[in-house]
Structure 1
């Protein structure tokens, strides 16, 4: 049932040139968001690109080439990665936490394989998922405000000007852009903001002196650093946020292509691919992987759903991870530029959480639903902490997720529609 596509899921483009161009388009679509995560968290940019490419190839293998999905860096874990790394002084705990997230995906995939997926829909209804996504976005709002030079009265005219130019660029392209421009507004806004930053003299070019054309990413291989399990309880609840995102992305892609991917190849196989990809990403020092709506958008616009195209895009991403000057350029982007983009980006993430509630028509006049949503928002955004051990705690998004799931089960039992 692939009549909605001009190039089918398991078909190759008609020529090598078309194949390369279509794959590069997917690279452009995922590039901005994929490198933005390590740029904000401090993880290695080259490793993130390699992890993205490897993850996509792993996913293609696990799903037997039946789903044209691209996997990139997940935004859902940024706050937790940053907080955990700041508290511990290294990324060791964060990487272990991300690997555990991958294992949770794998376990859930195995349960679904033998018990079906209805239980998952009941455990994570929209009244719980919506606030989770809102907290992910708004939890990062302070970082964006700081980056644009408007935090604590520390106003800097040059920083604010560059941030404003970047903000205007990304907003204009997202609202008024056509075709390819509308697909990659964040990526193009980086270049606009970067040019502005150069003109205002706030770009540090010294970093280019320290790199070479070919440069091996700074992999942090599992087993070469301290294994600290303190972060497991912090990261584990977030796995269910991205699992819900995973399901939603596959439903949307199915509508675009005319396929039911939840049935074939099956949610167990798609989750398995996503889980192993995140496990591998954490094992080499990269951020968690997740299905990318940006690339789903490319499929929707081009009507090209070929896994050969997404597969070649994954190979390109791996190769880009070894290009030193590309990494240096990304690392040289001033925080003012990042801030101008993230004012929009973080707000969009939060707004998507609101859209989940609206699309489900969640009744906030129902006091049970109102208590679930309001409690999660206050705990997630208010800095609530439950100290579990001297070095581990449930905080922010993780605590809100646990409390939201418990409250929903108490109020609504296993009813997927509150």
Structure 2
């Protein structure tokens, strides 16, 4: 969407509310939308590491806190856009992969490893190195990554929905997933912006009515809590884990770069080099260092923010700042963490399945709309996606002789698809620079025909 579309926004990025009604309505809308990243924190890392009982409740309060804090600081001092930051799928899957490779204790050390990785990325940002990401972050890479996120999310979602076997919760979860998708397509106005929240509320009510909601978990939490620093210890992580999570963080930053660039174009607020550096400094020091110190998965600005602004036409960061402050305040109430920790697995799975369907479609559209999508591009994406996904499902015996660093990367399909797509597109199947005087028949040249020039023009 160009500046013409941006002019149709109800509120632009720097606009303030025109009425008290708008201030309350649109701030409340963002609070409701901010429940969406909570599901990611719960379902990927929370359930992936097997947190239970009060450990899960306290973990959820910290997740709520980091969602609010990272969103607030980015909106105030970083990209300065109305973009929610939440648990990022790339490092979240890396934590779960570390658990699969080295066990629970090894995975818990990932949080401290992300502190070091965040410092490294902040330094790279200050040196201007992170600005070079755009040169390899092509639509093919972005689309393949989004597609893989959708596929990975769908497998997690189905596992959660089927956690009680072929039973009523399974049928209810599938029904909720279909309802979430239908609502996102058919919903109008405010309802269209919060299908995830509506699905969660209906799911909770259904499981409460069936007597399958764990009220004891909610009652076990104190009324007020304070997010604990270094809940899993303060020891120095193994060097292989530091290297792994640094690589993961760099790829996560590439994902964040693409999300911020796409959103800034949507609202006609193109980011400057200085703003990019501020964004990635906060990305490293807050969205990785602070979250790691709190034992929560690293966060990043979500790509779904593009969908939110297209639906609501509200891009003012004023409302998101108010919602972020409210989110931080909620994290100090233990009962809220208990309610989130008691989320029925089928409800969380239903949300992930609904989101996965959208992500898979967006990934495909991103690649196709990028320009030429011919045999070369089809093979690059197909090879990268299926090799990355297939490798992540190989049995543990396959990885028994591989270094943990390699195993952790191989088990993360999102990281692998980015690596494979970049290598295939930029090296293995890089398009040749044609000399049309010598070759005007090859496919690569045909896709990029020479422009018509005057006799005085220099051939480019």
**TM class by smaller structure:** 0.7 to 0.9
Equivalent residues in 2 for 1:62-73, closer than 5 Å: 62-63=77-78, 66-73=80-87
Counterpart mapping for 1:109-148 below 5 A: 109-112=125-128, 117=131, 119-148=132-161
CA contact (8 A) 1:26 1:298 kept: no
Of 7, 12, 26, the match for 2:30: 26
With normalisation by structure 2, the TM-score equals 0.77
**2: CA distance between counterparts of 1:122 and 1:391?**
26
- Does 1:88 find its partner at 2:103? yes
Say yes or no: does 1:48 pair with 2:63: yes
1:254 counterpart (257, 264, 268)? 264
Conserved in 2, the CA contact under 8 Å of 1:37 and 1:287? yes
Residue 118 of structure 2 corresponds to: 102
Alpha-carbon distance change, 167 to 303 in structure 1, aligned in 2, over 3 angstroms? closer
In structure 1, the residue corresponding to 2:365 is in which secondary structure?
Answer: helix
Partners of 1:50 and 1:317 within 8 A in 2: yes
TM-score (norm 1): 0.84
After TM superposition, give the deviation of residue 189 of structure 1 in Å. 0.4
Aligned residues: 409
Where structure 1 has 5 or more consecutive residues not aligned to the other structure, the ranges are: none
Q: Distance in 1 between matches of 2:23 and 2:145?
A: 38
Which runs of 5 or more structure 2 residues have no equivalent in the other structure? 47-55, 434-443, 448-460
**Aligned equivalents of 1:251 and 1:160: distance in 2?**
39
Deviation at 1:332, TM superposition (A): 1.2
What secondary structure sits across from 1:72 in the alignment?
strand
Q: How does 1:9-408 map to 2 (within 5 A)?
A: 9-15=13-19, 18-42=22-46, 44-63=59-78, 66-86=80-100, 87-90=102-105, 91-103=107-119, 105-112=121-128, 117=131, 119-149=132-162, 155-220=165-230, 224-261=234-271, 263=272, 266-279=275-288, 280-366=290-376, 370-371=379-380, 373-383=382-392, 389=403, 393=407, 394-396=409-411, 397=413, 398-408=415-425
Distance across 1 between alignment mates of 2:18 and 2:232: 41
Q: Structure 2 vs 1, CA of residues 406 and 168 (structure 1 numbering), >3 Å: closer, same or farther?
A: closer
Quote the offset at 1:207 in angstroms. 0.8
Cα pair 1:66 1:265 within 8 Å, conserved: no
- After superposition, the Cα gap between the structure-2 partners of 1:6 and 1:136, relative to the gap in structure 1 and judged at 3 Å, is closer
For 1:414 and 1:104, the matched residues in 2 are separated by: 33
- Moved >6 Å (runs of 4+): 414-418
| CA offset digits 1:148-205 (Å, max 9, x no partner) | 22x8xx8432222221331232122112111111111111101111222223332222
Q: Once the 2 structures are TM-superposed, how far is the Cα of residue 51 of structure 1 from its aligned partner?
A: 0.9
CA RMSD of aligned residues (A): 3.4
- Structure-1 residue corresponding to 2:49: none
Instruction: Sort the Cα spacing of 1:30 and 1:362 in 2 relative to 1 into closer, same or farther, 3 A.
Output: farther
d(CA) in 1 for partners of 2:189, 2:170: 30
TM-superposed deviation, 1:53? 1.7
1:412 and 1:237 map into 2 onto residues whose CA distance is 24
Supply the distance in 2 between the matched residues of 1:80 and 1:362 (Cα, whole angstroms): 33
Answer with 1 or 2: which has the greater Rg: 2
Question: How many Å separate the matches in 1 of 2:273 and 2:247?
Answer: 27
Whether the 8 Å CA contact 2:150–2:356 is kept in 1: the answer is yes
